[in-house]
Amino acid sequence: MAKLLVTGAGGMLGQAVAAAAEKSSDQTLALGRDKLDITDAAAVTAAIDQFEPDAVINCAAWTDVDGAEAEEAAATEINGAGAANLAASCAASGVRLVQVSTDYVFDGSATEPYVESSPINPQSAYGRSKLAGEQAIEAAGGDYAIVRTAWLFGAGGSNFVDTMLRLGAEREQIEVVTDQIGCPTWTGHLAPALIACAAANGTGIFHAIGGGRCSWFELASETISLAGLKAKVEPTTTESFPRPAPRPAFSVLGSERGDEAIVLPDWHEGLRGHLAAAGVIDSAAGAAQGA
Ligand SMILES: NC(=O)c1ccc[n+]([C@@H]2O[C@H](COP(=O)([O-])OP(=O)(O)OC[C@H]3O[C@@H](n4cnc5c(N)ncnc54)[C@H](OP(=O)(O)O)[C@@H]3O)[C@@H](O)[C@H]2O)c1
């Protein structure tokens, strides 16, 4: 990939994508919110006109799932209208757009993995706002890949794994839900896949999640165990933990794209990669446990 523009480059995924892009593309322009606000259509067009990228990877988003319930219009302004601005400018300039989307476009009631064409039915304001972005991109008429991912963790942003590390060090006991199942995904695995997707040809929706599946309880237990923390992880249920936004009970994504499917390593490998990168385990131990 010759020239890559990364938006939302200050976020958790954006940082990983910017770092991976620096390694693999001839020229990368990584813009955080302070340098490019994607809700500013003129600024988006100017950035694309000036840099003339071959592709844009959009990592900018409103990601406060609970906050979106009270501020749906503000979330939709970024996740819907912001994505629409990028799509319009990219389409006008013949630039491929890679948009990061989410499992929250599904209702979580399935028992088999959701594939790209599975019926969407978002249950939360965040899910609706991300779906608005998907639909705007599809309508813009340009070349695009919408990459739905889920349960992200990585360096440089708040995420469940790091929260477990903190709580595991502070508390003797942590209660974690067993009745939400998903696919934990390390940004260190997703970022290079997004760059490959930016350079690839397929248009449409792709699913990209860490291999395997587990509950939040299992992810917490594995994190605490690998980190050697003493806290006991106790099972609980979603009902005992009311939150403003409903959480999908089943967020396992699959793919019907055959050879074009984005396949990432198993989530255990991602977890060890993240813990090793954070210095929580040494990478040799991580590799040994993965063997
Ligand atoms: N985290 C997950 O579990 C998860 C799961 C599925 C999908 N995703 C998707 O993955 C993508 C990356 O998420 P993330 O976890 O990296 O979230 P994040 O750390 O919150 O990053 C989002 C970034 O977007 C920036 N941003 C917000 N509004 C913006 C605007 N108007 N213009 C430009 N930048 C703006 C934020 O800046 P400020 O911090 O200054 O607001 C932040 O740096 C998002 O599309 C998200 O929907 C995430």
Is the confidence at residue 241, as pLDDT, over 90? no
Do residues 248 and 193 make contact, with C-beta atoms less than 8 angstroms apart? no
Fold (CATH) for 3-153+185-210+252-265: Rossmann fold (3.40.50)
Whether the pLDDT of residue 196 is over 70: the answer is: yes
pLDDT, tens digit, for every residue of 140-160? 999 999 999 999 999 999 999
How far apart (Å, rounded) are the C-alpha atoms in residues 180 and 178? 6
Taking CB atoms and a 6 Å cutoff, what residues make up the pocket around ligand 1? 7-8, 10-14, 33, 37-39, 59-63, 78, 82, 100, 102, 130, 149-152, 157
DSSP string, 141-180: -S-EEEEEE-SEE-TTS--HHHHHHHHHHH-SEEEEESS-
Span 251-291, pLDDT tens digits: 999 999 999 999 999 999 999 999 999 999 997 655 434 33
Q: What is the dihedral of CA 181, 187, 189, 190, to 10 degrees?
A: 80
Tell me the catalytic residues. Answer: 126
The span from the CA of 98 to the CA of 116, in Å, is 15
Spell out the SS3 assignment of 190-253.
HHHHHHHHHHCCCCEEEECCCECCEEHHHHHHHHHHHHCCCCEEEEECHHHCCCCCCCCCECCE
Between the CA of residue 222 and those of 154, 197, 275, 282, what are the distances in Å? 16, 30, 11, 16
**Considering only CA atoms, which residue is closest to atom 28 of ligand 1?**
61
| 232 C-alpha to ligand 1 centroid (Å) | 31
36 CA distance to ligand 1 middle (Å): 13
β-bridge pairing 181-182 and 214-215: antiparallel
Pocket-testing residue among 5, 7, 13, ligand 1, by greatest number of atoms within 8 A of Cβ? 13
Helix axes 160-170, 216-227, angle to 10 degrees: 60
Nearest atom, ligand 1, residue 14 CA: 16
C-alpha 148 to ligand 1 mean position (Å): 13
pLDDT at 289: 42
78, two tokens = 């970024």
Ligand 1 midpoint to CA 112 (Å): 28
pLDDT of residue 250: 98
Residue nearest to atom 37 of ligand 1 (CA): 33
Average pLDDT of 29-50? 98
* Domains of the chain by residue range: 3-153+185-210+252-265
Pairwise CA distance, residues 26 & 4, whole Å? 8
Mean pLDDT along residues 225-243? 95
When the pLDDT of each residue in the chain is averaged and rounded to a whole number, the result is 95
Which position has the higher pLDDT, 290 or 27?
27
DSSP strand pairing (55-58 vs 152-153): unpaired
For 73, 103, 143, 186, 194, the CA distances from 123, given in Å and listed in that order, are: 16, 11, 28, 25, 26
Mean pLDDT to the nearest integer, 97-124: 98
3-state secondary structure of 271: helix
